[in-house]
Amino acid sequence: MSALEKPWSDESIAVLPAGRLAAAPDLEAATAAARQFLAALGVPCDLPGTLDSPRRMAHAYAEMLTARELELTTFENDEGYDELVIVRDIPVQSVCEHHLLPFTGVAHVGYLPGERILGLSKFARVVELFSRRPQVQERLTKQVADWLDEELGARGVGVVITAEHTCMSLRGVRAAGSTTRTVALTGALRNDRSVRAEFLAGVDGRVAS
């Protein structure tokens, strides 16, 4: 069994490729469990507004934890394009693996093309690929960068994610509005100071000095 086929577990969660669970969600069982969970917290599920809440809750989490299948579309770099490509403000929607609460934000992805270039719409799909699962932002950022680096044979990849975590804004310290920024760099974007500066300036909408 390859790493991409391993069951969903603490050991394999970092390499599971499609953001999918070990098996298709059992929505009937999830609905029953949600009803028990809400009842244990003292939430009545027999009121007009909550009769269908356990089912909605089960469907919502199944949707948040399941990415669409990705068919990677790359093209030969016929023109020999060798400058940075940056795609900004890709929506990020994921679930904190510690509290199972959502975190949302944006990702900015850049790369220095090698022999292959990526269809632009696929950047958002790759972010979704790794975000639709229980995650931590640091791992998510590195997974996107490493996967693109390997799949494209790029000369360098950079990923910046900025997100707000509801496990921090709605509970605990309740620091509403606070955001977390993580960065992962490979190849020239990590090792070449000028290229790294150009990428980070492009992410922030600045001109590299």
Which range marks the domain in which residue 110 is found? Answer: 74-203
Query: Which CATH number fits the domain that encloses residue 173?
Result: 3.30.1130.10
Instruction: Choose, from 93, 151, 164, 167, the residue flagged as catalytic.
Output: 167
Inter-residue contact 156 to 86 (CB < 8 Å): no
Decide if 164 is catalytic.
Answer: no
- My answer on whether 183 and 90 are in the same domain is yes
Tens digits of pLDDT across the chain (209 residues): 333 333 333 333 334 444 444 578 899 999 999 999 999 999 999 999 999 999 999 999 999 999 888 888 889 999 999 999 999 999 999 999 999 999 999 999 999 999 999 999 999 999 999 999 999 999 999 999 999 999 999 999 999 999 999 999 999 888 888 999 999 999 999 999 999 999 999 999 877 66
Decide if 45 is catalytic.
Answer: no
Last-in-domain residue among 11, 39, 64:
64
- My answer on whether 121 and 156 are in the same domain is yes
Query: Which CATH number fits the domain that encloses residue 43?
Result: 1.10.286
* pLDDT on residue 197: 96
Contacts of 186 (CB under 8 A, 6+ apart): 145, 146, 149, 154, 156, 157, 158
Instruction: Choose, from 11, 36, 63, 98, the residue flagged as catalytic.
Output: 98
Decide if 36 is catalytic.
Answer: no
- My answer on whether 86 and 189 are in the same domain is yes
- My answer on whether 154 and 106 are in the same domain is yes
- My answer on whether 89 and 159 are in the same domain is yes
Q: Could you tell me whether strands 156-165 and 102-112 are parallel, antiparallel, or unpaired per DSSP bridges?
A: antiparallel
- My answer on whether 48 and 84 are in the same domain is no
C-alpha span between 123 and 117 (Å, rounded): 11
Is residue 209 domain-resident? no
Which of 153, 161, 162 lies closest to 188, judged by CA?
153
- My answer on whether 26 and 106 are in the same domain is no
Is residue 208 domain-resident? no
Instruction: Choose, from 59, 99, 151, 164, the residue flagged as catalytic.
Output: 99
This prediction's pTM: 0.85
Last-in-domain residue among 41, 64, 87:
64
Is residue 9 domain-resident? yes
Decide if 59 is catalytic.
Answer: no
Helices vs strands, H then E, count in the chain: 7, 7
Count of domains for the chain? 2
Decide if 97 is catalytic.
Answer: yes
C-alpha span between 146 and 208 (Å, rounded): 25
Please give the structure tokens belonging to residue 87. Answer: 């795609």
Residue type for position 66: T
- My answer on whether 31 and 84 are in the same domain is no
